[in-house]
Structure 1
């Protein structure tokens, strides 16, 4: 009777092990079929339908016949032109043409005249292609005498120079998404970049001069890195080299708050009218639109040129934080006026110019960069991102695909990997346990047969 029970248990164990092998095989097959790619975000494909963007048309027609471009409310490129022949070419390319009275050459001549005038801290100017004017802004710190002098300079240039007063004061936002701290104050990390040998944080130049040490905590116990290259004023960008030399997992992700981030897939220049998003360690994620390009700002510390002007708000501590749209890196926060309660104007250093000036590349994932070879758990560097994404209707734009701010699985334990239903681990674990059970029953059966033979041999031959 006891032997019969053993046979039943042994047979049930064998059948269970065989079933486990089949189940594990099915689980592994399903996990491989549903495996997620390394990158879930790509630039919006709808923009690819616009073969000739506004910037391309401006470049082709020249600055003597055009006065800039922007994105209309319907997402269609609009190009300001000065003659009917140019308008015809714009329409033929599928964009909208707007006749204006002043070419970009005339508008740039006005900004040159403003730049040659005595510098007044608290002022800024840029070309507004939609109104075909040069807009001069003065914050509350500009005195009545300086305002009068600037108005006289503008009057001599022409009626297309518009003077405006603005609330607040134009200041750098020293104090991302992620916060980085030094003795000089607090800033936000912008984007991760690399020169192929070491990894860096791209942030604002006014955050600190070359040699500044940066930490992740107020107690200065967790060193992030050291500033190895900085440009401010004139431009506003700097490189912070990681103390470890590497950015680590999730290097292609920028934080947007609540443990979430946006995966960055490339870099490009923005377009006037484009909807954009900014993240910073003080105020978090906010959005707005690009109002002009190549802006000049006279900060108290000095003049910075070639900036992106937006109506996105920012506050102290947001400096250096990322500006992006649809997962495309656009700029790092420089400064501005106002706050995220009353609103304001914020200026950004274009990413493309910073990358070029520093000789580094944006870190994006292998698949986002369109590189061949096996995907890597860490991000790899590549300059990428087409400016055609800017043809998306502003109302349809989004920050980009979200991802955990930590990125990657470098911090995952073996247990979490094995128990994650999206991984191969559970199936492999079932197969391993089933094989052990199957071999165990075979071994037990063989051992029982050996002992039975020994007893029989002993009884027969003594």
Structure 2
């Protein structure tokens, strides 16, 4: 049996060991923040359970709900309540959340985001609600200077000191579409390279994968090697507005395992689509920089990229997950996932790099699945059966957070804009899964959100470790595959 096929065939067995060995070597940055001003004794929760509780409390609290976040140090869900209704506060406490009374309601935060959209849609800017401060966090990259900076600063000040904060980023907001990576396309003027995000099953039952929308807009056919023949064709691509593509494998018999390749032949099983929660630790895999981790810092973020086709234009993307995980060119489309095997996002863009850090934004997977009609899990002859998570989080909002974008975000989430989000999607437990494999969350950890120890080097140092799938008929790359040689 070819080596690559053998690795896929035993992926379900290798996944547990991979999580324990590889994930601790990501660039960990634990969130030591404490929930100030909270009241009540809250339950100890995993991040995924906190996300489900937040979605439940968003419905219970109604207009009084003003966002929530995960306190990873205390392993508690902190819920913001506006208005001071003692009955609602008591109900939130009884449900197991730590309650914090805040001044800004979701409606007020949404109004602030609409003002920013109307007056400050400037290339190099972003905004998202930070439920930990109960404010809209506005960020400007290094290109926002002079009159543009003055305009942005004036708009933020006009919102009031208690409504928004403004910070500068040292880098430049850009989509991470170039550099060495796992999927390639030849277009006029050179090569385009991105990362495979997650293997899925398209609505017609064919094997496919998700990647960034700006990758699918840039090129129609994709290969898993720089000079190889195309193995997949874009079926749907959305950018700007959102940032996701559904790409179908050309061979309907392609095996598309529901796993993330973290390097050195190791994989992590992906068992559900889930929504991100502010404060939770997350992991990103991209073939340019390998495996890295950090925290979710905002939801339903709006990012204004400088248009690559119009020097005076803006490519605005809404409803994104904001994190402090690093990324670099070539990581676009790569996997953002949780320690317990939840597919969270697709790398969109950001500022900075993996030397100096920065902000990185991700398209929520739950919204991409609902929009494309795809389901998470193996297609073709891949692993079948039900997803490992019977109560998938995909049908709920993204931690119930109040967002700052132009959509309400993935599933019932309170957004700061005008359009309805990607709600109502069935949980991952109802979708074709990866043969019921156990996710990385079943590992014995080394404390906190960090998965157990090990001595293997970081996946970021392994370039080109997996053979090209073009040499093995009917075999698809794992999500977030290893870097291929070459590049510009």
The count of aligned residue pairs is 361
Larger Rg over CA atoms: 1
Q: Which residue of 2 aligns with 1:396?
A: 449
Tell me if structure 2 keeps the 8 A contact 1:176–1:321: no
Describe the superposition over 1:303-354 as per-residue Cα deviations: whole angstroms up to 9, x where unpaired.
0000000000000000000000121100000000000011110000000000
- In 2, distance between residues paired with 1:162 and 1:126? 10
Counterpart of 1:256 in 2: which secondary structure?
Answer: strand
| Corresponding position of 1:58 | 58
Contact 1:171 1:335 in 2 (8 A): yes
CA offset digits 1:267-326 (Å, max 9, x no partner)? 110110010000001000000000010000001120000000000000000000000012
Q: Is there any run of 5+ residues in structure 1 with no aligned partner, and where?
A: 1-34, 373-379, 412-462
Q: Is 1:152 equivalent to 2:203 in the alignment?
A: no
Q: CA deviation at 1:210?
A: 7.7
- Residue 435 of structure 1 is matched in structure 2 by none
Contact 1:315 1:340 in 2 (8 A): yes
Q: Which residue in 2 is equivalent to 1:334?
A: 348
**Equivalent residues in 2 for 1:382-461 (5 A)?**
382=433, 395-398=448-451
1:78-117 superposed matches below 5 A: 78-82=78-82, 83-85=84-86, 86-117=88-119
1:117 deviation in Å? 1.7
Offset at residue 215 of structure 1 (A): 1.2
Partners in 2 of 1:399 and 1:350 — Cα distance? 27
Paired position in structure 1 for 2:331? 318
CA distance, structure 2, for counterparts of residue 37 and residue 201 of structure 1: 19
2:68 is equivalent to residue 69 of structure 1 = yes
Once the two structures are TM-superposed, the CA of residue 108 in structure 1 deviates from its matched residue by: 1.1
Equivalent pair of 1:210/1:228 in contact (CA under 8 Å): no
Q: Please point out which of 294, 297, 301 is paired with 1:291.
A: 297
Could you tell me which runs of 5 or more consecutive residues in structure 2 were left unpaired when the two chains were aligned.
1-9, 20-43, 308-314, 391-430, 457-464, 473-488
TM-score, structure 1 as length reference: 0.70
Query: Are residues 1:234 and 2:241 paired?
Result: yes
2:175 paired with 1:124: no
The CA deviation at 1:55 is: 2.7
Could you say which residue in structure 1 is the equivalent of 2:258? 252
Counterparts of 1:61 and 1:146, CA distance in 2: 39
Aligned-residue offset at 1:226? 1.3
2:194 alignment partner, one of 163, 179, 187: 187
What RMSD in Å do the two structures reach over aligned CA positions?
3.8
TM-score of the two chains, using structure 2 as the length reference: 0.67
Answering whether residue 216 of structure 2 is matched by residue 208 of structure 1, we say yes
1:168 pairs with 2:171: yes
The answer on whether the counterparts of 2:350 and 2:358 sit within 8 Å (CA) in structure 1 is yes
Q: How far did 1:104 drift? A: 1.2
Give me the whole-angstrom Cα distance separating, in 2, the residues matched to 1:291 and 1:51: 14
Q: Deviations over 1:38-82 (max 9, x none)?
A: 7966x9x974987971232122211x2121011112111110112
CA contact (8 A) 1:262 1:400 kept: no
Distance (whole Å) between structure 2 residues aligned to residue 393 and residue 269 of structure 1: 24
- The CA deviation at 1:228 is 1.6
> If each structure's helix is expressed as a fraction of its own residues, which one has the higher value?
1
Aligned to 2:432: 381
